[in-house]
Every structure is written in structure tokens, then in C-alpha cells.
Amino acid sequence: MGMKLYLEYNQNIRTGDLLSWGSDSVLGWIIKKFTKSDINHSGMAIRFADYEEKKGNSRRFTLEALQHGIDLHLISRRLEVHKGKVYWHPLLAKYEDQRPLLGALALRYVGVGYDYRSLIKNILGRVSAEASKLFCSEYVYTIFTQCQFKPETEDAKLLLSLAEGKSPTPADMAKLGWWQDRIRIF
């Protein structure tokens, strides 16, 4: 599969789309085990249309909370070194007009530090959201809630946790009701 699969979908990936990562690393395995999921990391796609070359030759980026903080990378470069699976969740059509705001808010956090303490706590249970340092799903969730997105889920346990000010885990992100079903891209 690898890059060939990504190249089938990359031109459709847009700002605000969710990227879910299932890493084969030890930390990835631990997070997946405790969250009972095949996902251990979340990121958000972003495009810079003003800088794109001709149609069909544009680049897609990911904004993610990684070890040094919120980083911007080419998705293709991240995939070159990734060991595991990656899924793309297109933003629902009803949120189409929100894409520019989602991108603008997401970029404001570039350089914010990584929240290691909350990552460890989040493995054992959800943690309170706090924006001075962020881990992956906390970052994406923060962007969307700042754009006034409200969870659209039937998962009562998740809703209660969010109402208590807790951050979702990477496994919770797709349950929020803002994206279409996942599509494997790597």
C-alpha cells in the first residue's frame, strides 16, 4: 500500500480534515491498548491554496502536536518515516465554510509546546483541556471548539467527559461527528 495509496487520495485532502495515525511504536501500542483502538495519534490537514502550483500539483500539510510541540509538515514527508497506518476523515460538507477559520486558528498554535504530562495521564483516562501545552487530540479538539463546533455523538460517556472539560483521546476524535467515515491512506 504505502505511498501509492496516499497518492490516490492526496488531492482530495483539505484544511480541517482529520488524520488518524496508528503507529507501530511502543508508545503507540500502549496508547492503542489503553484506548482500545487502532488509533494513537491525531492531526489536522491544511492546504495553502495561494501557494499551490497548477491543479493536481498542490501539497498537503499536517498540523500535529509532536515531541517538540505543534509542528507543520508535508504529509508525504511524515508518511515516508511512519511505521503503521494512517486514515483520512474528510470534514463533513455542512462545515465547508469553516475551513478557512479552522486553518487560521490551527496555525496560531504552531510552536506551542507538547503536553507530555497530559499524554501520560490521557493513557489512563481523559485529562482536562489546557492550551499552554497540547497533545495531539487535545490540539485538534481545541481548534474545532474555538470554531464553535459542538460534539454530535450518541456516546454518553464521551459527552459527559467533554462536558467536564476533559480532552478527547485520539480514538475519540472520529466519534465527535464532524468528519465522514475514515479512509485508509497509508
15: containing domain: 2-184
Residue type (1 letter), 116: Y
Cell digits of residue 134 = 497540547
Alpha helices, H only, the chain: 2-9, 26-35, 75-81, 99-108, 116-124, 136-146, 156-163
**For the chain, what is the domain count?**
1
First to last CA, the chain: 6
Q: At 99, give phi and psi (nearest 5°).
A: -55, -50
Q: At 61, give phi and psi (nearest 5°).
A: -120, 165
**What CATH number does the domain containing 47 carry?**
3.90.1720.10
- Contacts of 73 by beta carbon, 8 Å cutoff, 6+ apart: 61, 62, 64
**Model pLDDT for residues 79-121, shown as the tens digit of each residue:** 999 999 999 999 999 999 999 999 999 999 999 988 776 665 5
**Model pLDDT for residues 2-58, shown as the tens digit of each residue:** 899 999 999 999 999 999 999 999 989 988 998 899 999 999 999 998 777 666 667
Q: At 184, give phi and psi (nearest 5°).
A: -70, 130
**Model pLDDT for residues 123-132, shown as the tens digit of each residue:** 555 555 556 7
Strand 69-74 with 84-89, pairing: unpaired
